[in-house]
Amino acid sequence: MHLPIPYRPEAEVVSHRLASLEGALDWSAAAATARPWVEAVRRHPPPFWAMESLLREYPISSAEGLALMRLAEALLRVPDAATAIALTADQLGRADFDGAADSTLSRLSSAAIAMSKKFLPEGDHPPGLMAKLGARTVVAATLRAVQLLGRQFVLGQTIAEAMDEARSAHRRHDALRFSYDMLGEGARTDADALRYLDSYTHAIRAIATGADAARAPEHNDGISIKLSALHPRYEEAQRERVMRELVPRVWQLCELAAAANLNLTIDAEEVDRLELSLDVFEALAARVAAGQPQWRGFGLALQAYQTRSLELIVHVTAVARRHGLRLMCRLVKGAYWDAEIKRAQELGLPHYPVFTHKHHSDISYLACARALLSAPDAVYPQFATHNAGTIAAILQMAEAAGAPFELQRLHGMGEGVYREVMKRTAAPVRVYAPVGQHKDLLAYLVRRLLENGANSSFVNQLGDDSVDIEELLTSPLWLEPTNPALPLPPELFGPAPARRNSEGVDLAVESMRAPLLGALATTHVPAVEEFKAGEALKAVAASAAAFRSWRKTPVETRAAMLRQAADALQRELPRFCALLVKEAFKTWGDAVAEVREAIDFLRYYADEAERIMQPVALPGPTGESNELRLTARGPWVCISPWNFPLAIFMGQVAAALATGNTVLAKPAEQTPAVALEAVKLLHAAGVPADAVQLLHGPGDTVGAALVAAPGVAGVVFTGSTQVARIIHRALAAKDGPIVPLIAETGGINAMLVDSSALPEQVVDAVVQSAFRSAGQRCSALRLLVLHDSIADAVIEMIRGAAGELAAGDPALLSTDVGPVIDSEAAGNIRRELARLDAEAKPLLPSAASPAGGNLLAPQAYEVRSIDGVTSEIFGPVLQIVRWGHGALVDPADVIDRINALGYGLTLGIQTRIDSRAQALATRAHVGNIYINRNIIGAVVGVQPFGGEGLSGTGPKAGGPHYLYRFCAEQTVTVNTTAAGGNAALLSAVA
């Protein structure tokens, strides 16, 4: 069976879940069962250093809790003392630990932290000698404290250490079992994946030595594995490769686990990997049925917070029955909630794939629990929860169903509740136990803290005496399904009449990408007639004639036409995506993003024009009125590039039209068909034919003739700095009015990385920023500046991740890097590569670039200095420089060197030191600065885009100041006393 689309109305899904629970549960009885557990936990709370107590004393919603969480995330992996001191000072300095906690022990802890802060430097400045000695002592103590914090979550740093701890627990309670989770996030390189495979293999063999193969898997310890840790491209777009390479790897582990009769559980991951995970799982289930049919320990984790969770259980049950297996199924709430919400918003999806209310997730969990308990022939349910009410409800439903099951808790969480559960019931309990180096726990630790430390979580409220027990054990079933707690992605910018967010496509969902692939087969690239440069004066005259009536069209009418065009473009998104793939060689992800950006430009500038073009009354002396108005300038020449042939083209044109100007649109020579279809769409929306004319032809003839023509009121250009200079000189040489130029050009865009940054996050950001769109973005990363203490490891990871990218036909979903735009561009890039081969250290083999054609695989080089990077290479080429030694010790010096290059478009900063990030951002002469993320993909109205220096004139496209440049200002003053005296003044004093 196919799962339903994950983006469905939340209230409808919850109503279905409630219906499935009808008559299945007596919540009042469950609450009565749970009450003594809660009372006992409150009478005997966990010690201060236990995670529940820390979350209560320093909740993550507070500055103190956030500071401790960030230190826990980053400090252990900072290799150099200077950065460790700066990070500790920054985080502890941002919170007031004096009086931050209540208990005696925590007050002593807070006092110690407050005292320690006195030894730390202020801001991102190196301390003196004596202060440095004190600071090092504080950092050493903080490191030890973070390691102790890690021990609350990590059972052992090695599998042997973890098994020793587990044996001690077994002796205290014979019924307790463990599922070891070898810590590690998704692999970025195949070397990472093979390392994780070795780790899993070693762990299974070690666990097997303590297992009894004669016992059923539910009575032995087991292991949990992450599929994303075993393959560097574990994603829907790489389905064929994943099935070919990953399934055999996991099968090796399954055979080892089956031989020892262990439980091997595949952990749940993000929503966009669900269908792929299920296909991998079923392929493995088929192998189990054929090769190890007696093994009943194969299983997977299921996330109840997904809106498809119940249908997922039906699917898994069917798989088990189809292959004659009994599967072990761990039911969890889910751990990627914030990431799923953000992804849905960024992609403009119709609904969220997860529930946005806690009680909706609780309802779903109970419905899923009932479904699992009703299929004992197919599944052995494992219920992972720390909620006392949920545990009691499961016990009740399990007794009614007569089905075997087990409960699970996370190591370091829920110990108090489970202490009472194990005293009072015979329910089997398994501990989900992370294993790994403390420095590797960061992403896991932060995710668990966010999941269990939220103010609404049961764990958080359990220790809060101000929360009444009746409130704590309130039934989620008594609460009505409600609308989402967050605005839906299409309403991200507010409810109507606010601008509607453009709607996107989740390419991981087959039914959503099908219209795009269908459009590819039916969309043809039309021929575009070339405009003759000698006709430029005639075109300008027609534009000027159209301007006389277009400027008088009410701004509301002009805005309505742009919105109509946006709606039409939204409806035709598949066709325009297909056209971008065929003519501009866009990959599907880039094509969808570009169509959405064009839609956003149309809607945003429609709103902005209505806002700014209303007359503004100004103060003045009595007896007169003063009003400031914006008026259109006249015909504008809009020269757009081939790298964003729809979005930038439409943005330029829409800005001019919205403000009452007419347009002479000169698209890039390589992509005229996209522009032609865009103009047709505008004409169909009501824009007069002469108000926007498409003039296709070479830039050095048609473009130059239009710029030089008299009567042109302005020029907006996106392209190279060299061409912008030519246009600027041509405009300056003209007689007549001084014509404004809006230019957005390229840049030597840099990313500065210090040693507190998370390497995996850095590599993701670098690969996306440097190589997505084949490096053919104005904002693409050109220069990576890495701290020397982490440079070797990060460079090695970048090499591996870049080598995993697939270069090829952009029409294939699996392609990451398509060809560059034409042979001229390819030739220019190859000449630069030849120069770098001679001058710098190649990091990727030249053989990685396919020979011939316009297809170039990513390339990276280590160069000697920032100053030596003097020109932009407009392709998938990254240059890397080290800092942290010699003349580049201070990150401020790095920013000064970047500023000295003269460009100023985009800059990335990767650091966990917040004060450093803000100080460096202030120091940089750059238009767009991105902290701890990639540096591409600016969103209209969210990240207005544009640079300074050699990168452009401003104002920023997609920002609140852009339209002003297309307008002239006019002040109208009226002497109101000229006829009949000053009646208003007389009335005021009467």
Query: Average model confidence (pLDDT) for the chain?
Result: 91
- Between CA 618 and CA 623, with CA 622 as vertex, the angle to 5 degrees is 100
CA atoms of 200 and 180, how far apart (whole Å): 10
Q: What mean pLDDT do residues 915-921 have?
A: 96
Confidence of residue 148 (pLDDT cuts 50, 70, 90): confident
> Does residue 449 surpass a pLDDT of 70?
no
Instruction: Report pLDDT for 108.
Output: 43
Q: What mean pLDDT do residues 177-205 have?
A: 93
Least confident segment among 32-46, 81-95, 203-217: 81-95
CA atoms of 357 and 366, how far apart (whole Å): 15
Nearest to 42 by CA among 51, 33, 52, 32: 52
Q: What mean pLDDT do residues 653-672 have?
A: 98
Instruction: Report pLDDT for 50.
Output: 62
Residue with tokens 């004060």: 915
Active site residue 240: no
Confidence of residue 10 (pLDDT cuts 50, 70, 90): very high
Of residues 449 and 709, the one with the higher pLDDT is 709
* Beta-carbon contacts of residue 425 (< 8 Å; ≥ 6 apart): 395
Phi–psi pair at 222, nearest 5 degrees: -145, -165
Phi–psi pair at 693, nearest 5 degrees: -110, 135
Q: What is the pLDDT of residues 692-710, one digit of tens each?
A: 999 999 999 999 999 999 9
Catalytic residue among 577, 778, 862, 872: 778
> Does residue 847 surpass a pLDDT of 50?
no
Nearest to 825 by CA among 893, 873, 762: 873
CB atoms under 10 Å from CB of 941, counted, come to 19
Q: Are strands 263-266 and 222-225 parallel, antiparallel or unpaired?
A: parallel
> Does residue 67 surpass a pLDDT of 90?
no
Give per-residue burial for 544-582: e unless 16+ CB within 10 Å, then b: bebbeebbebebeebbebbbbbbebbbeebbbbbbbbbb
> Does residue 94 surpass a pLDDT of 90?
no
Size of the chain, expressed as the number of residues it contains = 990
CA atoms of 770 and 747, how far apart (whole Å): 13
- What's the whole-model pTM score? 0.95
Q: What is the pLDDT of residues 864-884, one digit of tens each?
A: 999 999 999 999 999 999 999
Q: Is 885 helix (H, G, I), strand (E, B) or coil?
A: strand
CA atoms of 441 and 435, how far apart (whole Å): 9
> Does residue 543 surpass a pLDDT of 80?
yes
| Burial category of 701 from C-beta neighbours within 10 Å (exposed 0-12, middle 13-18, buried 19 and up) | middle
Q: Under the phi-then-psi rule, with left for phi > 0, alpha for psi from -120 to 50, and beta for the rest, what region is 265?
A: beta
Q: What mean pLDDT do residues 735-744 have?
A: 95
First to last CA, the chain: 82
Percent of the chain with pLDDT over 70: 92
Q: Is 229 helix (H, G, I), strand (E, B) or coil?
A: helix
Catalytic residue among 73, 185, 744, 862: 744
Residue with tokens 């093994």: 295
- β-bridge mates for residue 945, sequence order: 957
Active site residue 778: yes
